[in-house]
A = this chain, B = another copy of it.
């Protein structure tokens, strides 16, 4: 299905009025940025760019879309003709996926005619706001987990299609795997999972359930041990699977206490290599609180797919420059109370000292060389309408590791606070 109608009505009426008024083809520069990092976060994480490039390739007004617009009188015939032949022919630059961002970072810069660029506002913001919110939360969880693996398992707590994108975003930001099979199929994210309480309840006894699971999935499986009595279940599990039992999962109760008790039991039973996986409304704070517990992996659901209290990344899409009547590109900015924007096309650099980030440098001198000890942040994503910014998901994962490793140590603090580096406009 075309992505073209994943768009706000007013993008099309603006195109109509601009076509009629002769301003539709003025060269324009739109910029995606966030005025602040919601939730007192120390840094944000860009995600969604790769998905967006795929959606852009499908951004076409076909017969079905045009018929809907015509029958409902959304726009006039002239605009329908424009939409029928719509192809984005401009340039898009942006922060690549996995990169950290800060307030005012020009996360994406879209340059084309007004009509071509304004149409993309809704789709670009939907993708970046959702995926970056998930990645920003996931990155904090990955830091809190240290080296222990994180499984994303929140599909059931968010929209069924958003779930697939959330799994992808969490993987970029450090999660090892996901429960979501579509994320495995579409993006190659490793998938994981064995059994729920329903499987135990299906059987006439927990013994029967564990036996059936081990028979079919092998002793290396993960057995869920809190359906009735955890201690009894752990004994049954080791009795049936032996010391090769892969893991047990605990999904309720005081997880720190339970993990300690289960570890002692497993060790006493000789299952010293059997891992303990915990789940149950975990977020970055609960994960951090389990740092000293004998936990070998975390399953995270609701909190990661809903951005852990910040379900949207607060990015906006603003016109920052456009041609005037004389054909000169001029910076523009609205003056709305409390919602100012900075006009002008931007370049962005991460300033570093001894490998540690010190500031987000943003300049309105396009083409300016990178300052000393600073790396450029904007990459070409679309050039003259051609998509050039695709990359494997693994590249985004590696970039995220490098980008966060470069941040000052307080970036890892989970408490509410200011961005860990300042944004400096010059």
Chain A residues proximal to chain B, CB less than 8 Å: 3, 5-14, 16-21, 23, 26, 28, 30, 55, 64-65, 68-69, 72, 74, 76, 114, 118, 121-123, 125-127, 129-131, 153, 155-165, 179-182, 184-185, 191-204, 208, 211-213, 215-217, 226-229, 251-253, 280, 302, 305-306, 311-312, 317-319, 322, 324-325, 332-339
Please, which residue of chain B has its CB at the minimum distance from the CB of A126? B160
Is the CB–CB distance between A201 and B332 below 8 Å?
Answer: yes
Given A26-B202, A68-B185, do A194 and B319 touch, yes or no (CB 8 Å)? no
Residues of B within 8 A of A156 (CB): 8, 121-122, 125-126, 129, 317
Query: Would A8 and B180 count as touching, CB distance under 8 A?
Result: yes
Chain B residue nearest to A319 (CB atoms) is B198
- How many Å lie between the Cα of A379 and that of B19 in the bound state? 51
| Contact, CB under 8 Å: A14 / B195 | yes
A-B pairs with beta carbons under 8 Å apart, 6 shown: A6-B163, A9-B180, A157-B312, A197-B319, A198-B319, A226-B336
User: Contact: B164 with A6, CB < 8 Å?
Assistant: yes
Chain B's closest residue to A252 (CB) is B336
Q: Per a CB cutoff under 8 Å, which of B18, B211, B302 touches A202?
A: B18
Q: How long is the Cα–Cα vector from A333 to B161 in the complex, in angstroms? A: 30
Instruction: Report the bound CA distance from A130 to B161 in whole Å.
Output: 11
Distance (Å) between the CB of A251 and the closest chain B CB?
Answer: 7
- CB-based nearest B residue for A280: B339
A306, closest chain B residue (CB): B311
Name the CB-closest residue of B to A26.
B202
